[in-house]
Each structure stands twice: as C-alpha cells, then as structure tokens.
Amino acid sequence: MNHGLFPETVGIDADSRFVDIDVESRFDDADTDSRRGRVDGVTLHVVVAGPEDGEPVVLLHGFPECWYGWHEYVEPLTAAGYRVIVPDQRGYNASDKPSAVGAYHLDSLAGDVSGLLDAFDIGTAHLVGHDWGAYVAWWVGLHAPERVRTLSVLNVPHPTVFRRALTRNPRQMLRSWYVLFFQLPRLPETLARAGDWRTLTTLFERSSRPGTFDETDFERYRTAWEVEGAYRSMLNWYRAIVRADPRPATTRVRPPTLVLWGANDDFLLESLATESSGYCESGRLVVLDDATHWLHHEFPDRVLDELTTHFER
C-alpha cells in the first residue's frame, strides 16, 4: 500500500517517524525529522529539521503539492540556523483525510497551524505559504497575529482582495474557472487520474518556466496523489471554500508581511499583489518579473534570499 512521500525518499537527511498522539497531547520529544501528531482532531505528517533552539519557520504548501513543494528550502534554512517545520496539510499525502467537505473550512486549516505551534511549544514563528498555503497563512496572520513573527505569502492575494476579484473582475473570474469545475462530484477526481495523472503534470509544465519540473518531480508528486483519498481531499479545499464563503474577522494584517509574486502567473492577476500589500500594516511587495505561479521552484535562491532578509528585519 502507498503511504505517501517522505523525506528519506528524496534524499533529505532526515528520519521518517510517526508518533500517534492524542488530541490534547504534544509531539513526542524524540529527535525526529518526520513526525506524526494529533492536531485539532486530525493527524498531520510533518517534516522537521534544524536546531531545536533555532527560530522556527513554518512552510505551507499549496495545490497540488505536499511538503515536497518546499524540499529545496529545508537544508539551506537549517544551515542558516532555522528550525524548519513543513507539514503535509490536512488532506494531503501522509496526513489525515477527513471525508466531510466541512472539515476543510479555513478556520480548521488555520487551526492546524496554530495546533502545530502548540505541539512544538512554539509561541511565534516565521510563517511562509505558497498558493493554498499562502491563503492559510493570510488567515492565520489575520486571526492569530500573535503567533506570527513574520508573514510571507507567495502568489495568492489577501482573502478580501481575492473574494472581491472573484465577484467583480471578469478577467480573474475567467482565470479561476477551474474552481467551479472542482465543485462537480467525482468527475474531477476521475479525469485527474487518467493517463497517469497527465492533467496535473501538464498543468505544471504549461504554467511554469521550461525545465522547472522534471520526471523525478512528477514521480514524487504521483506518489502523494495516489495515496488513498488524497486527491478527493485536496479538491475538498475548493469545495469547502465555495460552500462556506468565509470572510475574515478583520482585514488589516498586523505581522510584518512580505508579498512575493511571480508576474507571469497564469492563474492570478498581478494587480492583486499590489492590492494585497495595501492591507498590511507593515508590508513589502517583491515582484519577480520572469517568474510564474511556481516562483519558489523557478528561482529558489532569489526566493530564499528574500525570505531570510524578511525574517531578519
């Protein structure tokens, strides 16, 4: 049976250990790099690296990735002295996959992040997210700013900006057509599996710079997608947000915020980045003119430099 993709599979110097822990418990204190702990009623797989006393950095992946979306950043950040925490978010890869669509409400997704910080006895962390991970990061920054030392979001706009664009901007509505397609029952899951997940690998290839992803990457992603129930759960994020239509309790973002944006994003208008930075009390916008939606894969050195500079401000 395929249980998912783990650090040792991709050559990261880390152990894969799973520790079953009750909801109210903390993570096991053992020195492990891949841990499994109870968080908000779900079990999350988490890749952990770096010194115990390093400043914590939480990296949140988006669709259709998993923790592997940040694999190029684990070793450089640990070498710089940071404690790196990279979860498979609920529904993905080796983490639990609740069957109910309502289990993927943004409040629960953000609660997973706060729960992870509690589990590791972390008060505040540098929070980084890409795509859906960025949306969750915005939500944490808006509703639990006291847990966020710095906020860094890659190629997803502020929730208020995005909601407005999806209802008032025809160009963005057209780019987001797939969100409506994902509301259909069963059909998106069936089509995605056809041709050895050709729809998803083609999505990566056509929306990124040439050579960004290779067959090794695709094989590793396929391993995560093929975990039983994973792809259905990944789509349930889209189903949940459409059904619930959540709105943040506040629109102002208090933590220092870096908005990193690839200008050639096929899915999101660049204007949303500028609007988003305007909602931040201390915001900085950096646009990579040659990058796409997948900027953290295309320009890892540049993105890493921007992130660590932001952490140190």
Would you state the torsion angle of the CA atoms of residues 50, 51, 56, 61, taken in this order, to the nearest 10 degrees?
10
End-to-end CA gap in the chain:
46
Asked if 93 and 161 touch (Cβ cutoff 8 Å), the reply is no
Q: For tokens 């995005």, name the residue.
A: 162
Q: For tokens 């619930």, name the residue.
A: 244
Would you state the torsion angle of the CA atoms of residues 6, 238, 98, 160, taken in this order, to the nearest 10 degrees?
100
What's the token pair of residue 9?
């599979």
Whole-angstrom distance, CA of residue 36 vs CA of residue 3: 13
Just list the catalytic residues: 131, 238, 293
Total number of residues shown for the chain: 313
Residue 307, CA atoms < 13 Å, CB-side half-sphere: 26
